[in-house]
């Protein structure tokens, strides 16, 4: 799954690069600096941890753990760029961590190893947001393409990619093009234009939505503790967004003004 997802994702992003850049496509790829390689490597690790975590715990656990990414990104943003999080963000962070503790500590349908992998993925995603924001000269699309390709090639020897059926291959093509090519490309481009905590807050909407999609598709009903933890995290994120939107002394305003149009 990881091998084909990465390869088809890289092909999809490469097509986007060729369409957008045309004659400058090779130059954009050639211009990937050390920061671009750092972004690609962290992204590849995060994707491997993400897919693997889904095999060892429930989607609900992964989604709720990932919902803490705004607050991890805020901490990384302060360390890397001295982007000081607001008091509201700190309070929301504590509330979200409480929700995760309820979900992981009281839930019985997940797995501790999978939860650990999901947390590692969350750290990688937060680091990606900060790298994309800190080094805005990164050729983002080539870096995303390289990330997808690296994740696919690294995982290829550990499975049997050529043993998949035609139906499975079609699903993997769709997975690579939609999740990796479209999703990773949009995430990478958007992360350049927003402070890490705002990018992460938008991404945290995955927490209340993912269990819903899984329930609709696979009838995987989350436990009461998972629902309770997810609601706490969702409430923490929603309240933080509303409070920050009304705060006239927004500490992120200078960074927004510096963002490229």
* pLDDT tens, position by position, 149-163: 999 999 999 888 888
pLDDT at 221: 76
pLDDT at 256: 43
Does the structure show a pLDDT above 60 at 106? no
Closest CA relative to residue 11, chosen from 185, 226, 261, 195:
185
Q: Which domain holds residue 178?
A: 2-89+110-157+164-203
Query: Per the domain annotation, does 18 fall within a domain?
Result: yes
pLDDT at 225: 75
Does the structure show a pLDDT above 80 at 57? yes
Query: Per the domain annotation, does 151 fall within a domain?
Result: yes
Alpha-carbon span 63 to 240, nearest angstrom: 19
Does the structure show a pLDDT above 90 at 41? yes
Query: Per the domain annotation, does 142 fall within a domain?
Result: yes
Does the structure show a pLDDT above 60 at 255? no
Query: Per the domain annotation, does 234 fall within a domain?
Result: no
Is residue 17 within 8 A of residue 141, CB to CB? The reply is yes
Does the structure show a pLDDT above 60 at 107? no
Give the total number of structural domains in the chain.
1
Query: Per the domain annotation, does 241 fall within a domain?
Result: no
Query: Per the domain annotation, does 246 fall within a domain?
Result: no
Alpha-carbon span 125 to 70, nearest angstrom: 10
pLDDT at 121: 92
Closest CA relative to residue 80, chosen from 196, 244, 252:
196
Does the structure show a pLDDT above 70 at 144? yes
Spell out where the chain has E strands: none
């Amino acid at each position: 799954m990881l091998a084909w997802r990465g390869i088809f994702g890289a092909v999809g992003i490469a097509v986007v690069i060729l369409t957008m850049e045309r004659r400058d496509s090779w130059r954009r790829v050639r211009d990937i600096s050390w920061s671009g390689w750092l972004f690609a490597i962290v992204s590849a690790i995060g994707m491997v941890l993400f897919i693997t975590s889904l095999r060892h715990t429930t989607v609900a656990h992964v989604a709720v753990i990932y919902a803490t990414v705004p607050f991890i990104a805020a901490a990384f943003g302060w360390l890397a760029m001295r982007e000081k999080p607001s008091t509201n963000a700190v309070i929301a962070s504590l509330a979200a961590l409480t929700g995760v503790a309820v979900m992981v500590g009281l839930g019985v349908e997940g797995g501790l190893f999978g939860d650990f992998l999901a947390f590692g993925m969350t750290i990688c995603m937060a680091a990606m947001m900060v790298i994309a924001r800190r080094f805005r000269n990164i050729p983002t699309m080539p870096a995303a393409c390289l990330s997808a390709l690296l994740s696919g090639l690294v995982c290829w020897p550990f499975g049997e990619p050529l043993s998949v059926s035609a139906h499975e291959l079609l699903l993997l093509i769709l997975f690579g093009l939609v999740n990796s090519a479209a999703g990773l490309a949009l995430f990478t481009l958007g992360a350049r234009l927003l402070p890490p905590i705002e990018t992460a807050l938008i991404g945290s909407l995955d927490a209340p939505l993912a269990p819903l999609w899984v329930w609709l598709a696979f009838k995987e009903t989350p436990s009461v503790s998972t629902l309770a933890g997810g609601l706490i995290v969702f409430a923490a994120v929603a309240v933080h967004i509303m409070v920050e939107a009304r705060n006239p002394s927004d500490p992120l305003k200078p960074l927004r003004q510096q963002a490229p149009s």
